[in-house]
Structure 1
Amino acid sequence: MALPLNREAEYLNALFSLTLNPLQAKDAVALVASLGPEERSEFLSLADSNHVLVRGLKAVLQHPDSAANVELRSWAKQQIDKEEKRISTALVYLHAICEELETANCPTTVMKSLDHYPDLGNDLDLYSTAEEKAICDVMTGKFNAHIEPRSWGDRLAHKWNFAIPGLKESVEVHVQRLGQMGEHTGLARRFVTRRVLKVVENKTYHVPAPEERIVVATLQRMYRHFYFRVCDIVNSAAIIESGELNFQELQRATELAGIWPGVATYLTIVSDHVQRYRGIPLSLPEFVLSAARFGGKEIKPRARFLRVPVLPHGAALYTYQVTQAAMRGDVPGTLRLSLLPYLASAAAVAYKVTGSDKGVW
């Protein structure tokens, strides 16, 4: 059942406060403490959808105002323990999958999933430069995985989804391509050629370099789903604040791919939300801010997330991308991108008729 818009916005505001500025989250802690059982269930569901359940509730526990509220602390600890158990189980599988793929000469990078830690998303996202058959052989042969039905969009994007017995999360593998239509190949290869190591719960994984972490977030939010989760703002703010992000390299790589305006806009939206909850924006170079097409004021809470207007903003970014692909002579990329309006129309019709766009996207 959908939450009333005002309550949904109130819960999202609390989650942003708890994760972006936990020391000043007095009102958010008071809100969570005041909720009844049904409302807390709704709050938890929204936190889970936004991949900040653990971070949000840990902020509640660590805030001085929760110290004397035994009931609130007991509830929060119980929810954290339950979620951490799920995450630890998923990480065991994720590490085993990565190890088997690497052993089979399938170079693999974990995208997005580990950015959320100590939270974890609802699926495990991977990218590999290997052949599709080799990956499917590992997943079915080593893990008895079931290959999920593939939509038109999945086939164009070279994306495979696997269900593994004993693992709650779906495993999503992007093969040699990235982007809604699989239009990015050179950009995609950077996810393996520039990958770095990350240790989580005493296990080592290959993850994208900071620049590619921003790239994949941008592709998801500005060119595919057109909405932000709370975790997108929190995760990307942490990348920027780490000092490890090379803005010039990010610009160079994404200008070649025709998505630099989307990247600059994504970073500006992140900074604007940080400013809203901390009072000061992130330190972004002027060339990033000047390249942004719009800012955080344009995205609004609706249907569990912060929504990016497809018209005019999403359409303008798409038009720029396809124009740039054509101008640089990328015929395959241009053809793939030219299919997007037709696929989107088919998805809209399918949703209207059946209530679902599965099989299309």
Structure 2
Amino acid sequence: MTLSREASHAALVVRLLLEDTPPRAAVAALDWTTLLQVTERSSTLIRTVERLAALGEPAPAFVATAVERERQRVREAFELARRIAEACDARGIPALFPKVFQHYPDLGDDLDLLVVSPSRRVDAVILEGLRAARRPGHWGSRIAGSVSYQVEGCSTPLDIQHGRLGVAGEETAFPAILWRERRRVVVAGLDAFTASPEHLLVLHGVQRVYGRLGIDLADVAAAATLMRRPLAWDGILDTAAQLGVLPGLGAFLGYVEQIHRRLFGRWLLPPGLRSRLPLERWGGIAFHNGVYRHPMIRVNGALYGRRLVTALATRRWAT
């Protein structure tokens, strides 16, 4: 199968992020303009350029300028996260940044803070001393219990999620689990609580397929990196089953498996574990218009239909 220029560059980026040495032909065909477009959209710019430099492919000036601009954005976001983490610690507010370190030295488009309490009144305490303006929300963010702020000195929006996760705020039990099993991590001067590797993978299952048009390239690489590590898989599957998101986790991991096998010729998960997950009933996935796209209507219809039935049956869906 012949890949489009965009898709071939996406495949190159995944290889680089997983610390693979890509085929010479892929590097020889590198188009820096296309690469910049793919990586800026997918929160992979800094790592990709660093890996290429290590392979003897220095970036041209216009890409180097974009990299420095992105580094500055990450520095600003980490400084804001540091101040918020210190404020939460000082005031005894249970809160964590579940995904802040997963793409480092890159960073996603938003800075996500999960507050275990469902009350939004805590925002004023967290943001005390900061010049923060509430950004216009939409019905989805209101349902999901999320409020977005623009803080002076940080170009990255701060999204505060209050006691719930999921597209429609359906996951009300997961925040307490994330907090209970949290990890304290220090990176680049940021000392903050974050999700455990196992629960970060479950979080991908909650957030990356349900209600989504596709899967970001950076999330594919992040999940594959986690899946290559020794993980407590019994705990992962038990948590996903408890939350009713095992089909969503299976769909997400199945897509990551497809991409990994296409690039590397092998599965990530061992057969015994593959047999315990619903990996192969969701159709194909291909890179198009900036993300890995799946059959959205069919997949989301099946997943959310099951999720809604489960949530209503167990009365876990927040109202």
TM-score (normalizing by structure 2): 0.90
Helix, strand or coil for the counterpart of 1:88? Answer: helix
Quick one: distance in 2 between partners of 1:273 and 1:289?
19
Matching residue of 2:52: 60
Using the TM superposition, give the Cα deviation of residue 182 of structure 1 relative to its aligned residue in structure 2, in angstroms.
Answer: 1.1
Using the TM superposition, give the Cα deviation of residue 164 of structure 1 relative to its aligned residue in structure 2, in angstroms.
Answer: 0.2
Matching residue of 1:152: 139
Spell out the pairing of 1:143-182 with structure 2 (5 A cutoff): 143-182=130-169
Deviations 1:132-180 (A, max 9, x none): 3443212443212111122221111110101001100000111101111
Using the TM superposition, give the Cα deviation of residue 297 of structure 1 relative to its aligned residue in structure 2, in angstroms.
Answer: 6.0
CA contact (8 A) 2:144 2:168 kept: yes
> Which letter maps to 1:141?
E
Using the TM superposition, give the Cα deviation of residue 91 of structure 1 relative to its aligned residue in structure 2, in angstroms.
Answer: 0.8
Using the TM superposition, give the Cα deviation of residue 78 of structure 1 relative to its aligned residue in structure 2, in angstroms.
Answer: 4.5
Spell out the pairing of 1:1-361 with structure 2 (5 A cutoff): 6-32=4-30, 35=31, 40-64=32-56, 66=57, 72=59, 77-243=64-230, 245-284=231-270, 286-294=272-280, 298-328=284-314, 330=315, 333=317
Helix, strand or coil for the counterpart of 1:255? Answer: helix
CA contact (8 A) 1:139 1:162 kept: no
Using the TM superposition, give the Cα deviation of residue 315 of structure 1 relative to its aligned residue in structure 2, in angstroms.
Answer: 0.9
Q: Which has the larger radius of gyration?
A: 1
> Which letter maps to 1:137?
A
Which ranges of structure 2 fall in alignment gaps of 5 or more residues?
Answer: none
Helix, strand or coil for the counterpart of 1:166? Answer: coil
Quick one: distance in 1 between partners of 2:260 and 2:311?
33
CA contact (8 A) 1:130 1:176 kept: yes
Q: 1:24 and 1:8, CA in 2 relative to 1: closer, same or farther beyond 3 A?
A: closer
> Which letter maps to 2:113?
L
Which ranges of structure 1 fall in alignment gaps of 5 or more residues?
Answer: 337-361
Alignment length (residue pairs): 317
CA contact (8 A) 1:127 1:191 kept: no
> Which letter maps to 1:13?
A
Quick one: distance in 2 between partners of 1:315 and 1:281?
27
Quick one: distance in 2 between partners of 1:29 and 1:137?
49
Quick one: distance in 1 between partners of 2:157 and 2:47?
22
Using the TM superposition, give the Cα deviation of residue 299 of structure 1 relative to its aligned residue in structure 2, in angstroms.
Answer: 1.2
CA contact (8 A) 1:196 1:206 kept: yes
Helix, strand or coil for the counterpart of 1:163? Answer: strand
> Which letter maps to 2:106?
D
> Which letter maps to 1:60?
L
Quick one: distance in 2 between partners of 1:295 and 1:25?
31
Quick one: distance in 1 between partners of 2:100 and 2:109?
9
Using the TM superposition, give the Cα deviation of residue 306 of structure 1 relative to its aligned residue in structure 2, in angstroms.
Answer: 0.6
Quick one: distance in 2 between partners of 1:168 and 1:121?
12
> Which letter maps to 1:84?
R
TM-score (normalizing by structure 1): 0.80
Quick one: distance in 1 between partners of 2:81 and 2:312?
38
Structure 1 stretch displaced more, 286-295 or 315-324:
286-295
Quick one: distance in 2 between partners of 1:288 and 1:77?
41
Using the TM superposition, give the Cα deviation of residue 29 of structure 1 relative to its aligned residue in structure 2, in angstroms.
Answer: 2.3
Helix, strand or coil for the counterpart of 1:261? Answer: helix
Quick one: distance in 2 between partners of 1:18 and 1:272?
17
CA contact (8 A) 2:210 2:304 kept: yes
Quick one: distance in 1 between partners of 2:286 and 2:217?
12
Q: 1:22 and 1:81, CA in 2 relative to 1: closer, same or farther beyond 3 A?
A: farther
Quick one: distance in 1 between partners of 2:299 and 2:139?
25
Using the TM superposition, give the Cα deviation of residue 293 of structure 1 relative to its aligned residue in structure 2, in angstroms.
Answer: 4.7
CA contact (8 A) 2:214 2:296 kept: no
Percent sequence identity over aligned pairs: 22
Let me know the Cα RMSD of the aligned residues.
2.3
CA contact (8 A) 2:12 2:22 kept: no
